[in-house]
Amino acid sequence: MGANMAKITRIKASDSQPKDKAKKQDAEAEEVTRKVTVKAKNSENKKLATKKAAEAKKVEKTKKKAEKAKKERKVPAVLKPLWWLLTPFRALGRYIKESFAEIRQVRWPSRKETWKMTLSVILYVILISAFIMLLDLLFTKVFNAVLKG
């Protein structure tokens, strides 16, 4: 246990430095402290500004939503008696609008990928049709043998 332990030396602080050097180090330490304090205050100010901006955005968003809701609710006086008749057309319009929005989000394949997928589908169809034709031929022979027999 004692053989593997590291040798520890004790270092004591002393006043062997000249007074000017000590003052210079104190001034540097004070300047560093000031810089750190200024940075901390700046970061706090940035955080507060960010919070205020986020709150302002939320308030603006709620105002816009309220305005949009007011606009949507307004029904022309002429259409009020027939408003229920227009419901399917509004639903259809909303469906078309949402469909176009969805199509814009689609990642379309490249020409090379399209050809690969097309050829794989054609190959799969040929293999499955050949398998079904073989089964049909087999069942036809079996049923003919049973019926003649």
pLDDT tens profile 27-85: 676 766 666 666 666 677 777 778 888 888 888 888 888 887 776 666 667 667 777 78
Rounded distance, CA 88 to CA 94, Å?
Answer: 10
Q: Is residue 81 left, alpha or beta, with left meaning phi > 0 and alpha meaning psi from -120 to 50?
A: alpha
At 125, the pLDDT band (50, 70, 90 cuts) reads very high
Strand locations in the chain, DSSP E?
Answer: none
pLDDT tens profile 55-70: 888 888 888 888 877 7
